[in-house]
Structure formats: C-alpha cells, structure tokens
Amino acid sequence: MRLTQDLHRRGLLAAGLMAGAAASATATTTAEAAKPAKSAKPALLAPRPPMGWNSWNSFATTITEAQSLETARIMAARLLPFGYDVFTVDIQWYEPQASSYEYNRDPQPAMDGHGRLLPAPNRFPSSAGGRGFKPLADQVHALGLKFGVHLMRGIPRAAVKANLPVLGTKVRAADIADTASTCTWNPDMYGVDMSRPGAQAYYDSVFRLLASWGVDFVKMDDMSRPYDAHAPEIEAAHKAIAASGRPMILSLSPGETPVARADHVRRHAQMWRISDDFWDEWHMLEAQFTRLENWNEHRVPGGWPDADMLPLGRLALGKRDSKFTPDEQRTLMTLWAVARSPLIMGGDLRHLDEPTLSLLTNRAVLAVNQASTANQPHFVEDGTRIWSARPEGSPQARYLALFNTTEKPKLVGLPLRDLGLSGAVSARDLWSGADLGRVSGRVEQTLPPHGAALLRLGA
C-alpha cells in the first residue's frame, strides 16, 4: 500500500511539474536560465527503519554460502513481500575455523595482500580467486534483497603481524595500528590510529572493496563502547563510505551509545545500537523500554536508535526455540513497532513456524513501525508502559500501545484527552484486526503478565 501511495504521489508531482513547465519557460529570463542549478539534496539512506534478517542469533560465527542462499531464498519468498529486504552475513565470515559463539584465540583470517578481510573460501566457495562476496551478493540481489556484511572495527592483527602494505600508500599495517586499542570480546583486530598517515586510506580501501562486491549494508562492530574513544573510526567509516561511490547503510554495534552523543552518531550512521546484545530474556526486554524512552526524542528519518535483533523462532545453532512466551513476543514486536526500532529478524528462517511468521508479517503492526509520526511514551505508573503515535496521513487518528510489565494481569489505559482526542472514537485491535467499537473518556484493556495491546483509535 505504501509503495502504491508513493508512486501515486510521484505521478501527481510529475504531472504538476509538466503542467507548469510551459509557463515557467516563458517567464524565465536569459540571465536566470544561465544560473547553475542547485544540486539536489542527497536522498536519505534509511528514510524508514531498516527491516531484514541477520545470521547471528541463529548461526553465530558459522554461516556458510549454502546456508546463506537457502535462507535468502526463504526470506525473499516469505518476508520480502512485507518489507524485510536487508540480508546480512554476521561476524567472522573471514574465519575458516569458526565453529560456535566462541572466538578462536589465534585467528587466521582470509585476507588479501593489503590486510583487507576476504570471505573464507572453505565456507564461501564462490569467493575463491579474489571474487570476494560479489557472486553471493549478486545472487542475493537477484532475489530482490539488499546484501549486508558484518565488519569489526580496525585492522586485522594478522595483517599487522605480517606488516602488510596499505593499498595506495607507502605505509604499512604496523604504521597505522593502535595495538593498545583492542576489542574486549573478540581477538581479530587492532584499532586504527586515525591521527597517523595512511589511516583513512586503509578504511577507504576496505569500503571500496565492499562496494566492489555490491554491499548495501555494513554492521560495524566494537564501535560504540567506549564511544568517544572510537569516534574517529566512526567518522572514518562514514568518510570511507562516501568516498566508495556506493550508498551503504552504516549500522553501529554494540551499545550502549550514549544519548549525549546523539548528534554525532546521527551525522555518521543510519543505525546505532542502544544496548549490548539483546537475547530472549524478559529482564533484557524490560530494560529496553527505558532505553527506547530515553532515545525517543533523538530519532529522526535516516537515523534510527536500534534496540537490536528480534530473537524469535529457532535460535542458537538450532539448539532451542525462543524463550519468550507468546505474550512476551507480542510485547517485543509492539515495542519495536511503536518506538520505530529497526526490525531485523534473528531466528533461523529454515525453521520459521506460522506463529512466528504471523508476528513478523502483520501489516497493520508493521505500518506503525514504518509509517508513523509523533511517537512518544506516556508515563502512567509502575508496572505499565504506554506509547502513542500518529499514522502518516491521518492527523485525527492515533496509535496506542499498552504494556503490562508485571507478573499479574493488569488493567492498563489512559484518558483520550492525553492523546488529544475528545468525544467517542472508533477503536481497532491491530494484532487481531478486531473492531472494538467506539470508546470515550478513557481507553483501557486488561493485559496478561508481560503482555501488550496495540490499537488504532479514530479514522
């Protein structure tokens, strides 16, 4: 529906431009015609919260080319029609011996002669002969999907040990490496000292390589903790994308990105994590309410606070299903929708069941995430959370999300006047599609423990 509306608006705009062309031409003087045209403002890379799938929750470090293609085909068939279009291969695609959620302490990554990581050919056979991810990206693109990769901050320690030359410069890996800047949980990389000659050239070379493969999305890790210490490399990645000639969404990970640095992160990335890795534990989900409330005023089109992936369905190398109860799963999707967090599915799509699919593909709920404005939390009392938003193009309507974070059933609601509404208004349950009739004065529902409701009020 949104695509149809967008095309309709574009058609009306084009018609208006053509209708005014003749009158404009007769009124334009020679001097005015000679003026250089103003350059168009660059299009936003992520005007709406990105939607997609990422391999981490289900495959850890181990995903292969065969598994990638099988998953991408399922994604294209079952999720792409609902807007999920970013397919991302997560961490250690360059590690031949990757086998679990643990990292090898002495990694021997596949890389080229300039210290740039390459897909491990034993896991991604089409990458052999220097072709990198391009053959896989081409197949993903052919399915109508965007192709994303995970990238660690810095330069491989193996490149520094071998002191490989930085492409296009006279410096070498050891000249730009900051060996005191290391990731606390992953042994693959040293940081890059951006004050040294050749440092930006290294990042430029990395992102040019990604661009040549057809990468559309880069999840860059170890970037936000501590944020200020890594800010020069965040800026370097942003500059390198601009220099690559290919638009690539930059997603920073992990959290917690400090709210005080909102202006900086919005200038340099399109997504940024606001927490550490999020998994299927209620205490983790409950903590995301406060984080999303704190970040709410800093969210803008093209800049999305990211509450992390959706750990739904089959997880953890196929060892278990999500520990979230059905009510908690609905709470998760409702919160991510009304707070407009990116929607990145993490579960194994090869085992996608109907209840999980229905959670991911409710068009009315997805519209809240993709096409709402004035999203805001309303504090009511302990044990409840309430958010509201306005549907795009319907100024008199409201979305209302009600949450019960307690261990017992609870009546949750608020007066319509708090939403700027008066009189009696229609109400519809977005999860079930049920018409709830007309409500006046106060809207409320009894919710189960850890449960949620998502309503549309008004026309």
Amino acid identity of 311? Answer: P
Task: Kindly state the greatest CA–CA separation across the chain.
Answer: 75
pLDDT at residue 10 is higher than 80: no
Q: What is the pLDDT of residue 25?
A: 34
The sheet carrying 155-156 orders its strands as 155-156, 189-192, 177-182
Cross-strand partners of 182: 190
Average pLDDT over residues 178-190: 96
Q: Hey, what are 415's tokens?
A: 């007066």
Rounded to an integer, what distance in angstroms lies between the CA atom of residue 228 and that of residue 378? 31
* % of the chain exceeding 90 in pLDDT: 87
- The total number of residues written for the chain in this structure: 459
Rounded to an integer, what distance in angstroms lies between the CA atom of residue 118 and that of residue 418? 54
Q: What is the pLDDT of residue 18?
A: 31
pLDDT at residue 27 is higher than 60: no
Q: What is the pLDDT of residue 173?
A: 98
DSSP 401-421: EEEE-SSS-EEEEEEGGGGT-
Q: What are phi and psi of 190, to 5 degrees?
A: -105, 150
Q: What is the pLDDT of residue 11?
A: 36
Give residue-wise pLDDT tens across range 205-227: 999 999 999 999 999 999 988 99
* Strand pairing class (86-89; 146-152): parallel
pLDDT at residue 143 is higher than 90: yes
Number of Cβ atoms within 10 Å of the Cβ of 355: 12
Q: What is the pLDDT of residue 16?
A: 35
Count Cα neighbours of 189 within 13 Å in the Cβ-side half-sphere.
22
Rounded to an integer, what distance in angstroms lies between the CA atom of residue 357 and that of residue 327? 15
Amino acid identity of 300? Answer: V
pLDDT at residue 432 is higher than 90: yes
Give residue-wise pLDDT tens across range 411-421: 999 999 999 99
Q: What is the pLDDT of residue 40?
A: 63
* % of the chain exceeding 70 in pLDDT: 91
Rounded to an integer, what distance in angstroms lies between the CA atom of residue 311 and that of residue 80? 18
Question: b vs e for 240-250, b when ≥16 Cβ sit within 10 Å of the residue's Cβ?
Answer: bbebbebebbb
| Average pLDDT along the chain | 91
Q: How confident is the model at residue 39 (pLDDT cuts 50, 70, 90)?
A: low
Q: What is the pLDDT of residue 459?
A: 82
Rounded to an integer, what distance in angstroms lies between the CA atom of residue 146 and that of residue 80? 10
Peptide bond into 381 cis (omega under 30): no
Q: What is the pLDDT of residue 104?
A: 84
DSSP class of residue 422?
Answer: -
Q: Hey, what are 285's tokens?
A: 């989900």
Give residue-wise pLDDT tens across range 339-363: 999 999 999 999 999 999 999 999 9
Compute the CA torsion angle 359, 362, 365, 366 (nearest 10 deg). 100
Q: How confident is the model at residue 64 (pLDDT cuts 50, 70, 90)?
A: very high
Rounded to an integer, what distance in angstroms lies between the CA atom of residue 56 and that of residue 54? 6
Average pLDDT over residues 44-69: 98
Q: What is the pLDDT of residue 255?
A: 80
